[in-house]
A and B are shown apart, each in its own frame.
Chain A
Amino acid sequence: MADVVTLSKKICLLGSFGVGKTSLVRRFVHQTFEENYHSTIGVQLSQRLIALDEKAQFNLIIWDLAHIEKYDNVLKRYLHGAHGAILVFDVSRPETLEALTPMRCFFHENSKGAPCLAAANKYDLLEKDAVDFDTISRNVEALNVRCVYTSAKTDHQVDMTFRTLCSMF
């Protein structure tokens, strides 16, 4: 059997507090979900291997970043060398989508144009007519990144989001 080549990739999850970044990582890495909200401080690191084919796999080093309050050197160090980012927002809180624009700009400035995509999380709420789908679509377009609707709670397209980002490396 031929050796499998492993390519390590650093992925950052960015987004406002309470949008479900940690929940997405938990779902993707550990297949669990917790209803209670636990805020993240600094960075929580997780890892998961994703097979590309029989000969290659990605070792994803996932940086689950706390809500960004300051665009400073600490944040620059966190983002340094990232191979990609997932910009997460909560479909039921439009302000969390608006907050992604400066985050996206900062990420691009500090990661030499690494790919990123948006995760419209808490999609389970969208199904309950609790959010304005049209407004979200318009604002996502303005963000100029590909958007995947996800739900860490129902495991909707979580795996697919990470795989989509991997396909962009």
Chain B
Amino acid sequence: MELAVKDYFEVILREKKTAFALFDQDLILQEYSLNLKQYIAIQVKKNNPLWDVFPELIGSEDVVKSVVTRKKRRFIITKLTRFKSSGQSCYYHLTILPYTQNGYAKLLCIVSDGTQEVALEHEIQQKKYEIMLLQSTLQRSGIEAQSGFIGRSAQIQSIHEFVKKIAPVRSSTVLLQGESGTGKNLAARIIHNASMQQGAPFVEINCAGIPDTLLESEIFGYEKGAFTHALSSKKGLLETADGGTLFLDEIGELPFSLQSKFLAFLESKRFRRLGDTQERQVDVRIIAATNKDLMKAVQNKEFREDLFFRLNVINLELPPLRELDDDIILLAENFINHFAYSFHKTVSGLSDSAIKKLKAHRWSGNVRELRNVIERAVIFTENSMLDAPDLILIGAAAISDSWLESIQIPQSGISLPELEQYLINSAMNKAEGNVSRAARLLGLSLDTLRYRLKKGGTLS
């Protein structure tokens, strides 16, 4: 009969997701429910000491004593879990109570399942902390972006100084010049971040990317009925950027017809939307960028001289990558960290041969080219460090500046076909007559070199 009652009791405990353990006054296990081990992830036996069954009570000996002697009514520890090698987590709440049996003081430990209630809390918390971790990462990269370009060279240091000086002067227009891929866009964002309050708009427009006919309405906006398809009024980018920065990339491509209107805006900070009679005023910092020689464009009557001088109040020339020496490696390592993180790869740096290869390349595509080379290498490499063969450099093989500078055109001039033939012959000699190897030395395809060899009469 007693056994039958105990069976029922076990069923009830399982249903109610509760387990128990009863300890005598010496804190030795006397009785326990069969489902106890499901929570505490260890095998229990009669006569086990309390501290082996519930190590979470180690350190709380004073509390346990108070409960057994009924000085304390109960002690509860919530949301406990034990590490399981299976990875499954089972949460429980532990309550200890005084208990008297046949006149003897005992300790009753009740374990109640908390897995379900904790699961929901865990799901919410996991998402919350993941978002906070991502925000923290973004904030860090923001701080890095504010602090400037990566690099220790004098050129990069002077960019840092430049940004520091112009940041407080919000009203000044800035002109960024430099080859394609030198980071003009990044420079504009750095200046914006350094000089504007958090949340101030940064609006970017590529003057070469929008048809001439649309550019005016994009920048200045329009009123309903200003032209055939103007069915409603629309704010221009100048208004969108109010309180922040308008970055005009490839300003050299701004149509000549629009240049005078833009100049008028720069002078007064006032403008009219297309089809509007009302003048509007905005507080916008203008940053313009170009890879063109604007002075030359002025001479060729492609760019207004007065606009050039109005834009050229503060000018920053961004250095090409090939002039940055060791900064190339710093940048490359930065991209490796970035892409390794993005692609979940364990690539941690560059081998000596890879460093040599990067330093020798001419980087006509500048930082953008370097970024693409590293991205590709990180995706395809199987190594923990990028090696020279991982770096696929497009275009001509690396030529050092000193070698190029050593070539001087004589007063009498040279024959380019003869020079070409000379280089082809030198490559063939170096490659010991192997056409494929010579083609690689010259950065040509096998077919192209064959054609040129035939043309020069070297190959029949």
Contacts and interface: CB of A to CB of B under 8 A. Distances in A.
Interface string B127-140: 00110110010001
A111 to B, nearest CB: 9
A41 B85 contact: no
Contacts, number: 89
Given A17-B133, A92-B140, A43 B79 contact: yes
Contact of B55 (A29, A47, A130): A47
Contacts of A77: 75-77
A25 B91 CA distance: 18
Interface of B: 51, 55-56, 58-63, 75-83, 85, 89, 91, 118, 121-122, 125-126, 129-130, 132-133, 136, 140, 337, 344, 348
B126 A61 contact: no
A8 B129 contact: no
B122 to A, nearest CB: 5
A39 B81 contact: no
Contacts of B348: 128
Interface in A22-36: 25-26, 29-30, 35
A30 B82 CA distance: 13
Q: Which of A9, A39, A59 has the most CB of B within 10 A?
A: A39
B132 A81 contact: no
A17 B91 CA distance: 19
A46 B42 CA distance: 12
A81 B60 CA distance: 5
A45 B133 contact: no
A117 interface: no
A10 B133 contact: no
Nearest to A82: B59
B129 A41 contact: no
A11 B62 CA distance: 17
A26 B58 CA distance: 21
A45 B126 contact: no
Given A45-B56, A80-B60, A128 B133 contact: no
B264 to A, nearest CB: 47
A41 B118 contact: yes
Contact of A42 (B76, B91, B337): B91
A17 B59 contact: no
A128 B337 contact: yes
A10 B59 CA distance: 6
B85 to A, nearest CB: 7
Contact of A81 (B62, B89, B125, B126): B62
